[in-house]
A and B are shown apart, each in its own frame.
Chain A
């Protein structure tokens, strides 16, 4: 089903009811009528007028159960709703006697808190949009401007795509250059750094708005998207400088957490009180988390955390389903017996994933995600915020727990593969190791000896500079890559929407032909440690 969870927030029909035709809507609420809202994608080209709205507001028929009469009286429009509540039949008063699918139902209450229903229906009862619009499943280009940009590359392409911004983009690049060259980023003044960047980003975004000419640019949604894009672009370009300081500030915490990951080599899932039905390898989640360091903007990093939790859920779901099919160890007779993942389960599961991924700068990353993200309307409330908080909880639990004191428990533990194993394509079987540890002996043997050695493999490298916007603008516009063109894959999200996952190499544009560093230095830039995990797939 292509139904958007936020349909009513963006639906022009519902918006008209809330604003221009609020009298109509208030009357419908007062009488507890049934309000049918055609989904937005099938309203393209439709004239939203009083007649259309009235024909979608229904009151129960005084004569027949299950039948409703519209508020548009002249044609005596009558519909019926199937008992299962999923199909509407247009009976009389409409041009065609057709059936219309109900996509969703929303709970609604009037001012006196009496309940009424809002149904999202597949298409308008009478006025249909053109065939082209009906068959189209894609958003029109104009709507792309209203879709928040989640990656550095998307943000950059978005900013480049608006020609009116060309002068401001040069200012943005100048501000980035000034920041990188002259601004002192000190580890003990990170809040000041965040304030400063926030101020610069807000200022530059306002400048973009002031030179906007099109009508859509005055849409509050466009402003949100623009602010977010400027923020992501700016942060992506100053990442090395800022994140180095954050890592310096949290070096002790990062080191402690990294060491804890190795302590967990000797701990079984049972000792972490992970329910037995949820004990399974989580290689996809570990792989996702291992990519965290390859992303440079807080939004990208947050989406990575979400992808980790989505992966955990999907892997466990697959495990539970396969167990269910095999034997009656976990007899699940109905849907209501399906075990549910709660926060109490997620924390220890995340501990195993963090231990498997052997993150070297996770504390720094969490700080960066929390304090260097400003343009998010639902910050601290949405699903991504929940993922951040769950990670923070898991990390705090790891830091405060002495895993050496955990007592060996009885049930057969599951061994979690390390990143090195995942990357070497080693096949892991859930129950094949006599050691049954979260990480293997071989991975320990192969591990990089010290924290500092491992850290040196990270891509916090000051010689790696993303290409500026204004430089690209001066080049042939054809060189701009659309973000969807390469390296994209989708993870089914357990929350609201699918998460687009990109190969990390998409974050930074490919180097231009005129390489100022020469072959040797550019060879170092492309050394194996910089090889992104994403390229393996």
Chain B
């Protein structure tokens, strides 16, 4: 819940998930957020908004993962979802050339809407179907590099490459957020273009050696 994030320095990021219907983007993100202690996301069917908390270098990082309407008929609605995103995961199916082309269209749109502030990750899913690959590794990696995106290969089925993907994305989002914060503080008031990407809550409370909660 908003307002409770106090203690140390914490980051809160919004990350949109894009990909055609059958590329496995839902499975991929469910794999990432599921754990043996809490599988309610799967039992309740809900896969449109998911949260994942992780700790990097002693800092708390909360990633809100927004599934984005990807069907063609909802194309015009995309910007409503992208707004203020810190990261975007664009998923294609390595066995489906069309899904890769679709990713290219989204990259163009995201860059147009959000500029360079958004961290992009292009993800070739279903590497368990390597023998049916229709998008070559070289082509995908070359394209990702050309648009300033990172490229990952994953298999939601085998739970492969997913943690690495999100860790890398988190690192990039933290770097970008820290850059924006330092830019903002060095040129006060000229923060144009840098979205409210991060919540950094400085420790305002006096530190205590002992005592119960609060």
Q: Give the shortest distance, in Å, between B45 (CB) and chain A (any CB).
A: 5
Known: A9-B5, A12-B214. A377 touches B199 (CB 8 A): yes
Stretch in B67-75, B103-111, B145-153, B186-194 touching the partner: B67-75
Q: Are A396 and B53 in contact (CB under 8 A)?
A: no
From B1, B8, B52, B64, give the contact of A381 (CB < 8 A). B64
User: CB of A202 within 8 A of chain B?
Assistant: no
Residues from chain B with Cβ under 8 Å of A338 in the complex: 42-43, 45
Instruction: Give the interface size class of chain B.
Output: 35 or more
Contact with B along A502-531 (1 / 0, CB 8 A): 000000000000000000000000000000
Q: Is the interface of B mostly helix, strand, loop or mixed?
A: loop
Complex: chain A residue closest to B56, CB-CB: A109
Stretch in A42-50, A55-63, A410-418, A478-486 touching the partner: A42-50
Number of A-B contacts (CB under 8 A): 237
Residues from chain A with Cβ under 8 Å of B163 in the complex: 107
Within the assembled complex, what's the spacing in Å between the Cα atoms of A148 and B6?
A: 13
Q: Are B213 and A221 in contact (CB under 8 A)?
A: no
Known: A43-B212, A347-B74. A104 touches B55 (CB 8 A): no
Q: Are B47 and A340 in contact (CB under 8 A)?
A: yes
Complex: chain B residue closest to A387, CB-CB: B49
Chain B contacts with A in 1-53, Cβ cutoff 8 A: 1-8, 10, 12-14, 21, 26, 30, 35-40, 42-49, 51-53
Residues from chain A with Cβ under 8 Å of B51 in the complex: 5, 383, 495-496
Known: A9-B10, A22-B58, A113-B167. A386 touches B38 (CB 8 A): no
Q: Are A378 and B12 in contact (CB under 8 A)?
A: yes
Q: Is the interface of A mostly helix, strand, loop or mixed?
A: mixed
User: CB of A40 within 8 A of chain B?
Assistant: yes
Interface residues of A (CB under 8 A from B): 1, 3, 5-6, 8-12, 14-16, 18-20, 22, 25-26, 29, 40, 43-49, 84-86, 102-111, 113, 118, 129, 140, 142-143, 146, 148, 216, 218-221, 224-225, 228, 273, 313-314, 316-317, 320, 335, 338-347, 375-383, 386, 389-390, 392-393, 396-397, 400, 494-497
Given contacts A47-B210, A400-B76, 15 further A-B contacts (CB under 8 A): A12-B211, A45-B212, A106-B55, A107-B163, A109-B56, A225-B3, A273-B73, A335-B42, A338-B45, A339-B45, A380-B14, A380-B84, A386-B49, A389-B80, A396-B77
Minimum-distance CB pairs A-B, first 6: A224-B3, A18-B8, A108-B55, A340-B47, A494-B46, A377-B2
Interface residues of B (CB under 8 A from A): 1-8, 10, 12-14, 21, 26, 30, 35-40, 42-49, 51-58, 60, 64, 66-71, 73-74, 76-77, 80-81, 83-84, 163, 167, 171, 196, 199, 201, 203-205, 207-214
